[in-house]
Amino acid sequence: MKKNFLVTLLALVLSLSLVACSNGGEKPAEGGDETNGETLTVWCWDPAFNIYSMNEAAKLYQKDHPDFELIVVETPWDDVQTKLSTAGASGDISTLPDIVLMQDNAFQKNVISFPDVFTDVEGSGINFDDFAAGKVAYSVVDGKHYGVPFDNGAVIAAYRSDVLEEAGFTLDDFTDITWDEYLEKGKVVLEKTGHPLLSCISNEVDVVMMMVQSAGGSLFDAEGNPSIADNEIVAKSLETYKALKDSGVLVEVSNWDQYIESFQAGRVAGTVNGCWIIGSITSGDPEQAGHWSITNMPKLVGLDTATNYSNNGGSSWLLTANCKNKDLAYDFMKSTFGSSVEFYETILPSAGALSCYKPAGESSVYGEPQEFFGGDSIYQKVIDFSGKVPSNNTGVYYYEGRSAIADAAAKYIAGADLAEELKAAQEQVLFQMGQ
Amino acid sequence: MFKNKIPLSVKQNRAGWMFLLPAVILITVMNFYPMFNALLLSFQSGKGASLEYAGLYNYTRMFSDKVFMQSMFNCFFYLVIQVPIMLVLALILASVLNRKDLRFKGLFRTAIFLPCATSLVSYSTIFRSLFSTDGLINTVLLKTGILQTAYDFLGHPMSARFVIIIALIWRWTGYNMVFYLAALQNIDYSVYEAAKIDGASAWDSFWKITVPLLKPTILLTLIMSTNGTLQLFDESVNLTSGGPGSMSMTMSHYIYDTSFRFVPNFGYSAAMSFVILVLVMVLAIIQMKVGDKRD
């Protein structure tokens, strides 16, 4: 009896899994090739942010094009990258959607590694001069525009104004400052209130990369060769990072969730990150409403090129070569992300999606005071910051460079010589480039 | 009546092959064909889809790749320290749980085997938060006064590697214990009784009866653990992210990076995978030569 039952159960499970598989293959959402003339498929990852924005764009476009249909498949960034690489390497791009959302840092790498997988947007009629120049530069390959710029990664420094007040400071004391001043004032805050000012994920070098870009530095020169060894800006950034860590003003946490939790739970009294972090700040403890304030990031000391502005993250839309109805995709992107102030006015208040579309920055929606930030017009500030961000050469080998910097940082913090480690990092990247 | 001229043995053989055929076809198509293609791929080099034949370039190149060498060192570090500890522990646990007079045997066996039922990603994530600076381990050490300030276990190369080793021991000891338990069922209890009558201590009968009789099983678990450790991936990615820097990164983790995180270099990745294959093969052959004395 028992055996029969088990056999039946097993058979049931097996047949169910087979059914599940065959269903998976038939889903129209899986690929762009099964679409009728008026359907586009998109891969992106954040339901509260880019997926929401894409769906809003579709709603807007449907007003004039009632037959238009948009299918968004929620695909985490890591999966987008893996699927693109697999499709690109195998040469079978039929699995790809019409449009993918691409991290700006991975843009060059993907378009150059898989030239046959993507389609440029030169014919779309989008006026790229309407977008921030630094942003557009990420998605230009061989002089051709491949990306439709989406979100803004301008760096903000956010502080708990109530904690600063407790330590005897105001937001002005943290505006237009240097990292040295930040460190000194941070020590006072730590001593008086027990709160560090900054948390970051260990083994992720986001803060270092933000510092490097804020002084107009890059890990690569304009020709794409690594410029890590003897790079004054990179060295200064790592020194600053180590000083912050040693003082306790910066604490390292082990993953993304802990990072978010560290300031949402009020243990850490601030953060420095791309402006998309605003969504995570406002979705924290409602008791913190009104106690947050935003200003520009500190700048590096002793460098002529140092500024208080940088960029972290951000993404752009990229058309795949599997897009059968290119004209539809062009027109859709142009009439929404490419030219509609109305569209950007819709997605800003509900998703906090800050655009890089300059005409939208003049919209009154951006100037509205935000209660969560003590009635400050923070979006206006961010738009202002984003116009001042120095540009950055990500190169094709951005992730190799970043990895080498993480290696160097770990060894330097453990006590190794900085110049030696930067030289080793340079050699590591050069080695990895010599395929 | 129709008479069949084909001998019975041939018929049975044919039937046997018919039963094997589906599996053989599947393995050939799903396993051997990709492996052969990967071998071809390992002789090619280039970015993403634009690959060119480059002979043995990938193979000679990896020996000057500091990150790959570091990751190979890490894998062998895990292998040399973790596998012996784990196997000895599993053996001890198995013989304790095999005692006739032990109560709640089922409960203990289940408890020790249970970690194997957890997903690799989730247990790695849990170990990560356990050992983080504000995690349970640090909190306990601080509250009991053993530490004055929290220790960053994942921020130091040695401690990060040992966190991985501890995690691996927790996850895999029960798995190996089950093999030993199964093998122990085949040792007649009377052998132990006879040894006891002859005055052997528990220690003696463990080393002189259990271990020699379990030798084939020990060999099996040793080869499986070696194989598993050299291909370690989930723990490196999820527990330490290979960090600090790449000080705890495993070879498979680096292969993933060179294929999907960095500028895709599938030829190089395939070549590194074949090096792992050769390493596992060589170690398995050595272990069999040393361990298996059956002629």
* Nearest Cβ partner for B132 among A253, A406, A432: A253
CA A424 to chain centre: 28
* Nearest Cβ partner for A113 among B64, B245, B264: B264
Residue in A with minimal Cα distance to B47: A113
DSSP A145: E
Collect all residues of chain A within an 8 Å Cβ-Cβ radius of residue B47: 112-113, 396, 435
Query: How many contacts does A have with B, using Cβ atoms within 8 A?
Result: 124
Question: pLDDT at residue A409 above 80?
Answer: yes
Beta bridge partners of A274: A155
Q: Please, what is the average pLDDT of chain A?
A: 87
- Chain A interface disruption, residue of B121, B133, B254, B261, most A CBs within 10 A: B261
Pairwise CA distance, residues B20 & B25, whole Å = 9
Burial class for A430, CB neighbours closer than 10 Å (0-12, 13-18, 19+): middle
| Encoded tokens for B283 | 């170690």
With an 8 Å Cβ cutoff, are B264 and A432 in contact? no
Confidence at residue A313, expressed as pLDDT on a 0 to 100 scale? 86
- pLDDT (tens digit per residue) in A345-369: 888 877 777 778 888 878 888 888 8
* Bond from prior residue into B244 cis (ω within 30 degrees of 0): yes
User: What is the maximum span of chain B, computed from C-alpha positions, in angstroms?
Assistant: 93
Residue B199: phi and psi, rounded to 5, are 95, 20
- Where residue A22 falls among pLDDT bands split at 50, 70, 90? very low
pTM for this prediction: 0.85
- pLDDT (tens digit per residue) in A310-345: 999 889 999 999 998 999 999 999 999 998 989 998
CA B74 to chain A, closest CA, distance in angstroms equals 15
Collect all residues of chain B within an 8 Å Cβ-Cβ radius of residue A397: 262-263
3-state class of A169 per DSSP? coil
Collect all residues of chain A within an 8 Å Cβ-Cβ radius of residue B133: 251-254
Name, in order, each residue with C-beta under 8 angstroms of A294's C-beta and a sequence gap of 6 or more: A156, A157, A158, A159, A278, A373, A376, A378, A381, A382
Q: Which of A199, A158, A271 is nearest to B133 (CA)?
A: A199
DSSP A298-359: PB-SS-TT--S--B---EEEEEETT-S-HHHHHHHHHHTTTT-HHHHHHHHHHH---B-BHH
With an 8 Å Cβ cutoff, are A91 and B47 in contact? no
Pairwise CA distance, residues A114 & B50, whole Å = 8
3-state class of B246 per DSSP? coil
- Chain B interface disruption, residue of A85, A254, A433, most B CBs within 10 A: A254
| Encoded tokens for B293 | 């004395």
* Nearest Cβ partner for A91 among B49, B64, B157: B49
- pLDDT (tens digit per residue) in A85-96: 999 988 899 999
CB B266 within 8 A of CB B259: yes
Confidence at residue A36, expressed as pLDDT on a 0 to 100 scale? 56
| Encoded tokens for A4 | 């029969």
Q: Which of A262, A314, A258 is nearest to A288 (CA)?
A: A262
CB B41 within 8 A of CB A429: no
Query: Which span out of A12-26, A44-58, B220-234 was modeled with the highest average pLDDT?
Result: B220-234
Name, in order, each residue with C-beta under 8 angstroms of A267's C-beta and a sequence gap of 6 or more: A195, A196
Confidence at residue A16, expressed as pLDDT on a 0 to 100 scale? 47
Collect all residues of chain B within an 8 Å Cβ-Cβ radius of residue A88: 48-49, 264
- pLDDT (tens digit per residue) in B111-144: 999 999 999 999 999 999 899 888 899 999 999 9
CB B133 within 8 A of CB A255: no
With an 8 Å Cβ cutoff, are A255 and B49 in contact? no
Question: pLDDT at residue B209 above 70?
Answer: yes
- With an 8 Å Cβ cutoff, the interface of chain B facing chain A consists of 45-50, 61, 64-67, 125, 128-129, 131-135, 152, 154-157, 240-247, 257-268
Confidence at residue A33, expressed as pLDDT on a 0 to 100 scale? 45
Name, in order, each residue with C-beta under 8 angstroms of A56's C-beta and a sequence gap of 6 or more: A343, A346, A347
Collect all residues of chain A within an 8 Å Cβ-Cβ radius of residue B261: 81, 399, 403
Confidence at residue A135, expressed as pLDDT on a 0 to 100 scale? 85
Question: pLDDT at residue A433 above 50?
Answer: yes
DSSP B239: I
CA A370 to chain B, closest CA, distance in angstroms equals 33
Pairwise CA distance, residues A121 & A199, whole Å = 39
* Nearest Cβ partner for B47 among A91, A414, A435: A435
Question: pLDDT at residue A80 above 60?
Answer: yes
Q: Which of B190, B210, B212 is nearest to B96 (CA)?
A: B210
- With an 8 Å Cβ cutoff, the interface of chain A facing chain B consists of 78, 81-82, 85, 88-89, 91, 109, 112-117, 202-204, 251-255, 258, 396-397, 399-400, 403, 406-411, 413-414, 424, 427-428, 431-432, 434-435
CB B259 within 8 A of CB B251: no
* Nearest Cβ partner for A258 among B49, B132, B244: B132
In three-state form (DSSP H/G/I as H, E/B as E, the rest C), the secondary structure along A108-123 is: HHHHHHCCCCEECCHH
CA B274 to chain centre: 17
- In the predicted model, what is the mean pLDDT of residues A231-257? 92
With an 8 Å Cβ cutoff, are B247 and A428 in contact? no
Query: pLDDT higher for A100 or A388?
Result: A100
Please give the share of chain B, as a percent, with pLDDT higher than 90: 64
- Where residue A11 falls among pLDDT bands split at 50, 70, 90? low
**Antiparallel, parallel or unpaired: β B44-45 and A118-119:** unpaired
Q: Which of A367, A366, A338, A334 is nearest to A353 (CA)?
A: A366
* Nearest Cβ partner for B264 among A78, A89, A115: A89
* Bond from prior residue into B216 cis (ω within 30 degrees of 0): no
Query: pLDDT higher for A13 or A70?
Result: A70
Burial class for A168, CB neighbours closer than 10 Å (0-12, 13-18, 19+): exposed
Collect all residues of chain A within an 8 Å Cβ-Cβ radius of residue B154: 202-203, 254
Q: ∠ at Cα A4 (A3, A6), nearest 5°?
A: 65
Beta bridge partners of B44: B53
CA B181 to chain centre: 19
ipTM over the 0.85 cut-off = no
With an 8 Å Cβ cutoff, are A253 and B241 in contact? no
Confidence at residue A209, expressed as pLDDT on a 0 to 100 scale? 95
Question: pLDDT at residue A389 above 70?
Answer: yes
Confidence at residue A3, expressed as pLDDT on a 0 to 100 scale? 53
Question: CATH top-level class for A155-310+391-413?
Answer: alpha beta
CA A394 to chain B, closest CA, distance in angstroms equals 12
Q: Which of A235, A239, A240, A243 is nearest to A219 (CA)?
A: A235
CB A228 within 8 A of CB A429: yes
Confidence at residue A24, expressed as pLDDT on a 0 to 100 scale? 39
Collect all residues of chain B within an 8 Å Cβ-Cβ radius of residue A424: 66
Q: Is the dihedral of CA A14, A15, A20, A25 positive or negative?
A: positive
CB A241 within 8 A of CB A211: yes
- In the predicted model, what is the mean pLDDT of residues B22-29? 95
CA B111 to chain A, closest CA, distance in angstroms equals 24
Residues in chain A: 435
Confidence at residue B294, expressed as pLDDT on a 0 to 100 scale? 60
Could you give the residue range(s) of every CATH 1.10.3720.10 domain in chain B?
A: 64-291
CB A419 within 8 A of CB A238: no
CA B66 to chain A, closest CA, distance in angstroms equals 7
- pLDDT (tens digit per residue) in A123-175: 899 999 988 877 888 899 989 999 999 988 899 999 999 999 999 999 999 99
Confidence at residue A222, expressed as pLDDT on a 0 to 100 scale? 85
Please give the share of chain A, as a percent, with pLDDT higher than 70: 91
CB A114 within 8 A of CB A88: yes
CA B113 to chain A, closest CA, distance in angstroms equals 22
Residue in B with minimal Cα distance to A90: B49
Question: pLDDT at residue A381 above 70?
Answer: yes
- Where residue A19 falls among pLDDT bands split at 50, 70, 90? very low
Collect all residues of chain A within an 8 Å Cβ-Cβ radius of residue B263: 109, 112-113, 396-397, 399-400, 432, 435
With an 8 Å Cβ cutoff, are A203 and B48 in contact? no
Pairwise CA distance, residues A252 & B241, whole Å = 14
CB B62 within 8 A of CB B274: no
Pairwise CA distance, residues A392 & A313, whole Å = 12
**Antiparallel, parallel or unpaired: β A155-160 and A292-295:** antiparallel
Query: pLDDT higher for A356 or A418?
Result: A418
Could you give the residue range(s) of every CATH 3.40.190.10 domain in chain A?
A: 39-152+313-366, 155-310+391-413
User: What is the maximum span of chain A, computed from C-alpha positions, in angstroms?
Assistant: 83
Burial class for B295, CB neighbours closer than 10 Å (0-12, 13-18, 19+): exposed
* Nearest Cβ partner for A254 among B49, B154, B259: B154
Q: Which of A157, A116, A112 is nearest to A138 (CA)?
A: A112
Confidence at residue A284, expressed as pLDDT on a 0 to 100 scale? 81
DSSP A131: B
CATH 3.40.190.10 is the classification of domain A39-152+313-366 = yes
- Where residue B2 falls among pLDDT bands split at 50, 70, 90? low
CA A407 to chain B, closest CA, distance in angstroms equals 4
CA A302 to chain centre: 28
CATH number of B64-291: 1.10.3720.10
* Nearest Cβ partner for A112 among B47, B128, B266: B47
Collect all residues of chain A within an 8 Å Cβ-Cβ radius of residue B65: 431-432
Pairwise CA distance, residues B289 & A245, whole Å = 52
What is the CB neighbour count within 10 angstroms for residue A380? Answer: 15
With an 8 Å Cβ cutoff, are B245 and A407 in contact? yes
Pairwise CA distance, residues B130 & B132, whole Å = 6
With an 8 Å Cβ cutoff, are B67 and A88 in contact? no
